[in-house]
A and B are shown apart, each in its own frame.
Chain A
Amino acid sequence: MKLKSILVAGAALAMTATVANAATLEDVKASGELNCIVTTGLVGFAYTDANGRWNGFDVDFCRATAAAVLGDGEKVKFVPTTGKTRFTALSSGEGDILYRNTTVTMSRDADLKLTFLGVNYYDGQGFMVSKALGVTSAKQLNGASVCIQTGTTTELNLADYFRAQGMSYEPVPIETNEEARTNYLSGRCDVYTTDASGLAASRATFESPKDHILLPEIISKEPLGPAVRQGDDAWADATRWVLNALIEAEEFGITSANADEMAANPPNPTVARILGVEGNYGEMVGLDNQWALRAIKAVGNYGEIFDRNIGPNTEIGLERGLNALWTNGGILYAPPIR
């Protein structure tokens, strides 16, 4: 009897029941913690600071989701993954949502059984080279050694691009962004290729960023977006609308600073709907009506997240470009909350 109780306790300690394919929303609410899959470290997008706290663009979206679902943006457990392990981490239930600058593609959507929630960053694959090489165009890269992160779409785009241009190259496959940086800086490869945003983020961490340039060619479309497991519509709906709400909030001028004020005194019906003053949109997706208010108060709207982590005033210094709102010449366009 004694032995049995020990065994039972041990088993309870060891097995954490996570239902891999059904009601993630309920599970997350029940456990009081959101498992968010992020990258092992990409400055600006997801990285740990000296105190071990996670920061970055993707991390803020995780926090916004946690704030909307659980009411507290700090109730996130981050699951760092490499390009290779991210999808298994999601499908095995290790994580509930994937915010890891992941390109939305058809095969990932259909064959890997993911459900993409939308796009939080429009990107494209670029090349970075040392200025000293005197290269100004990707078309001059014949015969170069190229550092690539394995398990990403960049690996496939690169093969296609060089093949189409009739050029040869030496691929140097690498697991993580950090290793790629070491190899690139030590001269193991001439070129580092990944999403342009990632290149800019990496370059920001170099000792002398000015010695390196991004080539003008962008060789692919890389819409980066969050994903959840396929077949859990309630969870997909809830998380999708958190993303949309953050974009809508920027469009209608709701910021983390003025959100409470606007909720008390909504300037127009749209804002009232977003902030849960009018209608019960939160309840429709299984949350409560203050969901968006909490998310915005936790991390700010899309524009605030962008500016704080990767915007022009940060070390990374990315322009909004394609990621400006559709009203400002970009293509960021969230479906209306109504």
Chain B
Amino acid sequence: MSDAKSYEPGQHPSLPPPKNLVGWQRWVWDNLFGTVSNTVLTLLSVYLLYLIIPGMLDYFVLDAVISANSRAECAELGKGACWAFIGDRFQVFIYGFYPAELRWRPNLAFVLLFVALAPVLYDNIPFRKYGLMFSLAFPIIAGVLMVGGVFGLEPVDTRLFGGVLLTIVIGVTGITFSLPLGILLALGRYSNLPAIKIVCTVFIEFIRGVPLITLLFVASTMLSYFLPPGTSFDLLLRVLIMVTLFASAYMAEVIRGGLQSLPKGQFEAADAMGLKYWQTMRLIVLPQALKISIPGIVNTFIGLYKDTTLVIVIGMLDVLGVAKSAVSDPVWNGLSVEIYVFVAGFFFICCFGMSRYSMYLEKKLHTGHKR
């Protein structure tokens, strides 16, 4: 190599950089094998992947059975997961026991949900103002559509709600109503008026101090004692109220964090401008506080959505409840992992989607002056 040519000092053409400092080699060096500990971690990860991936792939995909009529038939066809079952029960998973001939109504409500969500989620949509009005009216429209009883719609008993349908009903209702309630509670706790502050604080701390299932038990067993004699609520409605109250307490704490992180100058400036309390809150404080709390708010939404599964302890069959009752179907006896994995996949998609959206929103609203 060196015998070929000689150069004047300073005339040597640039050599290419060493191989391990460019391209994929550099990346591998930096990210996988740079140091001893890094190499150890890499080997450990590869070993873990080796342990997990082939087994999972075999069980859930390669050896899986997708059509059979019973557990026994599944076992004959292959050693892996028995997905046939999901297909067998798919309708129940989605609609619960909602009457088959009326299922266009939840379907329509589901489509409308996206119509209602679009103007809330994205702000460059045409006719956004009218869209937002529709979004506000959506809970009522959806409720009427699903329950019926007016406008010639055949009434449907809420006991027949189940599966994904029930999960979405509880989740969406809770999310919709807990945010405004949470904002009010947070303002109450942050208020200067001692009585209001104490009331809100006690409420928030009480709700946060007890598990949701005790509240659901109260909704299902005790609440009717506290109503005027002779009245009783629909169970689903009772559950919706409890779930909303529960989420609103957590929401209030998240928003309070946002309120507290605002510099005092903002309040003082608003006072100096002569703004009244509600004007200050609406125009100055909340827009900033809510922006700061977005990750927390979405986390609360995700938590609420996951908590909808707890309704099975009071005998409502949401998507997990349907799965659980399906596990004990004698024809398919002994299946549990597959069914739970299926439901886990459903929740993962919903919740992961929500958390991605929150990151997108955070980036979009990150208008330069990070705290």
A residues whose Cβ falls under 8 Å from a Cβ of B: 6, 9-10, 13-22, 40-41, 52, 77, 79-82, 85, 88, 92-94, 176, 178-179, 181-182, 185-186, 205-207
Contact with A52, one of B97, B157, B315, B334 (Cβ below 8 angstroms): B97
Q: Mark B311-331, 1 if CB is under 8 A from A, else 0.
A: 000110000000011011110
Q: Which residues of B contact A93 (CB under 8 A)?
A: 224, 232
Q: Which residues of B contact A41 (CB under 8 A)?
A: 325
Could you show 24 A-B contacts with beta carbons less than 8 Å apart?
A10-B140, A13-B147, A15-B231, A15-B232, A16-B233, A20-B232, A21-B230, A40-B315, A41-B325, A81-B315, A85-B220, A85-B221, A85-B315, A88-B221, A92-B224, A93-B224, A94-B235, A178-B328, A178-B329, A179-B324, A181-B330, A205-B330, A207-B330, A207-B333
Q: Which residues of B contact A79 (CB under 8 A)?
A: 159
Tell me, yes or no, whether B149 is within 8 Å of chain A by CB: yes
Question: Once bound together, how far apart are the Cα atoms of A182 and B220, in whole Å?
Answer: 27
Tell me, yes or no, whether B72 is within 8 Å of chain A by CB: yes
Enumerate B145-191 residues with CB–CB distance to A below 8 Å.
147, 149-150, 157, 159
Tell me, yes or no, whether B199 is within 8 Å of chain A by CB: no
**Are A182 and B224 in contact, CB atoms less than 8 angstroms apart?**
no
**Are A207 and B229 in contact, CB atoms less than 8 angstroms apart?**
no
Enumerate B225-240 residues with CB–CB distance to A below 8 Å.
229-235, 237
Contact with B233, one of A14, A82, A88 (Cβ below 8 angstroms): A14
Question: Once bound together, how far apart are the Cα atoms of A131 and B341, in whole Å?
Answer: 33
**Are B220 and A88 in contact, CB atoms less than 8 angstroms apart?**
yes
Question: Once bound together, how far apart are the Cα atoms of A69 and B224, in whole Å?
Answer: 26
**Are A178 and B314 in contact, CB atoms less than 8 angstroms apart?**
no
**Are A182 and B234 in contact, CB atoms less than 8 angstroms apart?**
no
Q: Which residues of B contact A9 (CB under 8 A)?
A: 150
Q: Which residues of A contact B230 (CB under 8 A)?
A: 17-22
Q: Which residues of A contact B325 (CB under 8 A)?
A: 40-41, 178
Q: Which residues of B contact A10 (CB under 8 A)?
A: 140
Q: How far is the CB of A334 from chain B (nearest CB, A)?
A: 33
Question: Once bound together, how far apart are the Cα atoms of A18 and B233, in whole Å?
Answer: 9
**Are A185 and B234 in contact, CB atoms less than 8 angstroms apart?**
no
User: In chain A, what residue has the closest Cβ to B92?
Assistant: A52
Q: Which residues of B contact A22 (CB under 8 A)?
A: 230
**Are B334 and A186 in contact, CB atoms less than 8 angstroms apart?**
yes
Q: How far is the CB of A69 from chain B (nearest CB, A)?
A: 19
Question: Once bound together, how far apart are the Cα atoms of A10 and B230, in whole Å?
Answer: 18
**Are B157 and A77 in contact, CB atoms less than 8 angstroms apart?**
yes
**Are B314 and A85 in contact, CB atoms less than 8 angstroms apart?**
yes
A16-B232, A185-B333, A207-B72 given; 15 more Cβ-contact pairs under 8 Å: A13-B147, A14-B237, A15-B231, A18-B232, A19-B230, A21-B229, A41-B325, A77-B159, A79-B159, A92-B224, A92-B232, A93-B232, A94-B232, A182-B328, A182-B334
- Of B224, B237, B315, B329, most A-chain CB atoms within 10 Å: B315
Closest 8 CB pairs of A and B: A178-B328, A205-B330, A92-B224, A88-B221, A19-B230, A93-B232, A182-B328, A18-B232
Known contacts A52-B97, A85-B314, A88-B220; is A17 also within 8 Å of B231 by CB?
A: yes
Known contacts A92-B224, A93-B232; is A182 also within 8 Å of B327 by CB?
A: yes
Q: Which residues of B contact A206 (CB under 8 A)?
A: 330
Question: Once bound together, how far apart are the Cα atoms of A18 and B314, in whole Å?
Answer: 21
User: In chain B, what residue has the closest Cβ to A22?
Assistant: B230
Q: Which residues of A contact B220 (CB under 8 A)?
A: 85, 88
Q: Which residues of A contact B327 (CB under 8 A)?
A: 178, 182
Q: Which residues of A contact B324 (CB under 8 A)?
A: 179
- Of A81, A179, A182, A185, most B-chain CB atoms within 10 Å: A182
Q: Which residues of A contact B237 (CB under 8 A)?
A: 14
Q: How far is the CB of A93 from chain B (nearest CB, A)?
A: 5
Known contacts A14-B237, A186-B334; is A20 also within 8 Å of B157 by CB?
A: no
Question: Once bound together, how far apart are the Cα atoms of A87 and B231, in whole Å?
Answer: 18
Question: Once bound together, how far apart are the Cα atoms of A207 and B336, in whole Å?
Answer: 17
Q: Mark B329-346, 1 if CB is under 8 A from A, else 0.
A: 110011010000000000
Q: Which residues of A contact B315 (CB under 8 A)?
A: 40, 80-82, 85
Contact with B333, one of A16, A17, A182 (Cβ below 8 angstroms): A182
User: In chain B, what residue has the closest Cβ to A183?
Assistant: B328
Q: How far is the CB of A260 from chain B (nearest CB, A)?
A: 33
User: In chain B, what residue has the closest Cβ to A79?
Assistant: B159
Question: Once bound together, how far apart are the Cα atoms of A52 and B103, in whole Å?
Answer: 15
User: In chain A, what residue has the closest Cβ to B230?
Assistant: A19
